[in-house]
């Protein structure tokens, strides 16, 4: 029983670092088979099997959650330097997919600028929403660094009170309407610039 639990612990620790799903499946099946030979109750066996399934699911999801996986995906369409720029700073497979989606309406470099720094599939949605009111460069500035449709909504709400540039400054870097609410509250005690600085993203 101790050896079984130790094997399960090692599997959970190493699972996310394994590169091949087939290896994960093999290990899961081995441990599942081992469970059948124990004296655990059926409830305990079922619980451990559930934990195994969850560990396998997390490990599989983790295979795409690192810059090397992002690079491998991006390098199918980009140069090595471009793929590196896109995927640096924690890019994932979704960052590469963000570029593919953005490239439908933007140049290569513009799509990289939009999606780098861990962009995801919600980032092109932000751009589409923002582009209804802003230029291409302004939309990229607003939505880069993991912007979402909520970031575009933040801009719309901020623009009721602020200039275009100040609204972008307040909402960029994955801002939400909560930043506008922060600004409204802070502006009662601070200057406009101070309130923006307090409430804006990095």
82/133 Cα distance (integer angstroms): 29
Task: Say if pTM beats, i.e. exceeds, 0.85.
Answer: no
Q: pLDDT tens-digit profile of 17-63?
A: 434 444 555 555 566 566 556 666 766 666 666 666 655 454 444 44
Whole-number pLDDT of residue 66:
75
Give the span between the Cα atoms of 99 and 26, in whole angstroms. 34
Contacts made by residues 197-202, CB under 8 angstroms, sequence distance 24+: 199/170, 200/169, 200/170, 200/171, 200/172, 200/173, 200/175, 201/145, 201/171, 201/172, 201/173, 201/174, 201/175, 202/173
DSSP 28-66: HHHHHHHHHTS---HHHHHHHHHHHHHHHHHHHHHTTSS
Average pLDDT value for the chain: 82
- The answer for residues whose C-beta is within 8 angstroms of residue 112's C-beta and 6 or more apart is 78, 82, 85, 86, 99
Say whether pLDDT at 11 is over 50: no
User: Is 80 exceeded by the pLDDT of residue 185?
Assistant: yes
pLDDT in tens, 111-145: 999 999 999 999 999 999 999 999 999 999 999 98
Residue 59, pLDDT score: 45
pLDDT at 14 over 50: no
For the chain, what are the domain ranges? 2-62, 65-120, 122-202
The predicted pLDDT at position 103 comes to 97
pLDDT given at position 29: 57
How is residue 78 annotated by DSSP?
Answer: S
């Amino acid at each position: 029983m101790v050896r079984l639990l130790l094997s399960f612990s090692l599997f959970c620790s190493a699972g996310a670092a394994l590169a091949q799903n087939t290896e994960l499946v093999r290990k899961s099946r081995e441990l599942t088979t081992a469970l059948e030979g124990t004296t655990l109750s059926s409830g305990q066996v079922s619980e451990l099997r559930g934990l195994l399934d969850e560990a396998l699911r997390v490990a599989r999801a983790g295979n795409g959650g690192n810059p090397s996986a992002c690079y491998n995906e991006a390098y199918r369409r980009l140069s090595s330097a471009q793929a590196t720029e896109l995927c640096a700073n924690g890019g994932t497979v979704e960052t590469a997919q963000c570029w593919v989606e953005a490239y439908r309406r933007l140049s290569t470099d513009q799509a990289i600028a939009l999606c780098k720094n861990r962009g995801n599939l919600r980032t092109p949605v932000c751009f589409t929403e923002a582009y209804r009111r802003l230029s291409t460069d302004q939309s990229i500035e607003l939505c880069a660094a993991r912007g979402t449709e909520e970031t575009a909504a933040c801009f719309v709400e901020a623009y009721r009170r602020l200039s275009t540039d100040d609204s972008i400054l307040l909402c960029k870097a994955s801002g939400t309407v909560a930043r506008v609410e922060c600004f409204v509250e802070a502006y009662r005690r601070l200057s406009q610039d101070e309130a923006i600085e307090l409430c804006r993203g990095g």
